[in-house]
Amino acid sequence: MCETFLQTTARPWVINPTANYSSPEEIEAAFHAIAGKGGRAVLGIIGVPPRELLERAWAVSSETLDIDMPMPGITPVDSERYLPKVFCATLRTVMANALRLNLDWMILATGVDKCDGARFIALALREMLGIPIITVENLNFQRRGNPICQSALPLLRKMELIICRVVGEQSYLEIRPCLPEYGFWGVPPHDFGVLELFPSTTHVYGWSRCFENDVPADLALEMHVDAGIPTVFFAQSFCQKNALAQYLARKHNGLYVEVDTALTKSTRAKIEAFLALNRGRHG
C-alpha cells in the first residue's frame, strides 16, 4: 500500500479512472483523435492541468481557451438549464462556455487542485458533448516561482499574465519586483473590476500564486501570506474556499470578501475603506 502511494504521488499527475480521471489509453485516444483532424482544433482548459500535458496539447491545437474565464457574449445565465442559479459563478461560466464555444476538445482539472464541482461538471459534459474530454488531477509540488505575483505591475495585469499561462507559453517584458504594501489572496475573480481597486504594490497570494507556480494543489503555498501586509482574502460565493479565506482573514487580521458575479457597491466601498485605513500601516 505504501509503495503504491509513493509511486502515485511521484507522478506529475494522477490517473485514476475510478475517481473520474482519464486513463492513459483515454488520453492517448484523445490526442490521436485531435492530431488526426488536421486544421481547426480549439482546446478548452479549466483549472491548471499538468504542464507536460498542456505543452503536448498546445502542439496539436490551433487555439487554446481558458473556459474558467468570462467570454464576450456568454454569461453564467447560459448554464441555468443544467446548473442551479445558486452555484459558483466560475463553474457556471465553465458550463456556459463549454456549451457555447464550439470546442473541439477539453482538458479539465478535476481533483483537489480544482474542486469537486469541476468533477461533477466534467461528468455532465462527458454525457452532453461528443468531443474528447481529458480529466486529470495535478499533484505537482515542484514550484516554478512567482515573479508575476511579486511584480510592480498593476494587479489586473498580474492576474491576466498568470491566467494566460494555461493557454500557451507567454512572452512578456522583464518584470520588476516590488515590496508589498497590500495583498490580494484568492482565485482569479469572475469580475476583474475588483482588481482595479488595488495599487500596483499589491502582491498576489492564495490559489492564484499556486497557479503561477504550477502547483494548484499546494495547500501550504495557498495558505502563505507575508506577515504584516494588509491583505484582502477573496473568494467566490458558494465556493468551499470561503472557509479558508475567512479563517486566514481572522488569523492575519485581514478583510474577508465574498463576491458572486459582479462587484457590488457595498463590497467595493468595504475594500476601498480597508485599503485607505491600512495605507502606510504595514511593515
Same domain, 117 and 162: no
Pick from 95, 120, 139, 108: nearest CA to 22: 108
Question: Is residue 66 one of the residues assigned to a domain?
Answer: yes
Same domain, 134 and 6: yes
User: Residue 99's domain is classified under what CATH number?
Assistant: 3.40.50
Q: pLDDT value at position 40?
A: 87
What are residue 152's phi and psi, to 5 degrees?
-90, 10
Question: Is residue 282 one of the residues assigned to a domain?
Answer: no
The pLDDT tens digits of the residues spanning 94-131 come to: 999 999 999 999 999 999 999 989 999 998 999 899 99
The pLDDT tens digits of the residues spanning 44-91 come to: 999 999 999 999 999 999 999 999 999 999 999 999 999 998 999 999
Q: Where are the beta strands (DSSP E) in 17-132?
A: 42-46, 63-66, 105-109
Question: Is residue 145 one of the residues assigned to a domain?
Answer: no
State pTM to two decimals: 0.88
The distance of Cα 139 from the centroid of its chain, to the nearest Å, equals 14
Boundary of a domain, candidates 89, 105, 138: 138
Total structural domains within the chain: 2
Pick from 169, 190, 183, 185: nearest CA to 79: 190
Q: pLDDT value at position 64?
A: 95
Question: Is residue 143 one of the residues assigned to a domain?
Answer: no
The pLDDT tens digits of the residues spanning 134-168 come to: 999 999 999 999 999 999 999 999 999 999 989 88
Q: In this model, does residue 250 exceed pLDDT 80? A: yes
Buried b (16+ CB within 10 A) or exposed e, 61-80: beebbbbbbbeeebebebbe
Question: Is residue 128 one of the residues assigned to a domain?
Answer: yes
Same domain, 105 and 165: no
Same domain, 19 and 129: yes
Question: Is residue 144 one of the residues assigned to a domain?
Answer: no
Q: Write out the residue range of the structural domain in which residue 115 sits.
A: 2-138
Question: Is residue 230 one of the residues assigned to a domain?
Answer: yes
Do residues 235 and 222 make contact, with C-beta atoms less than 8 angstroms apart? no
Same domain, 162 and 112: no
> How far is the C-alpha of 19 from the C-alpha of 244, rounded, in Å?
24
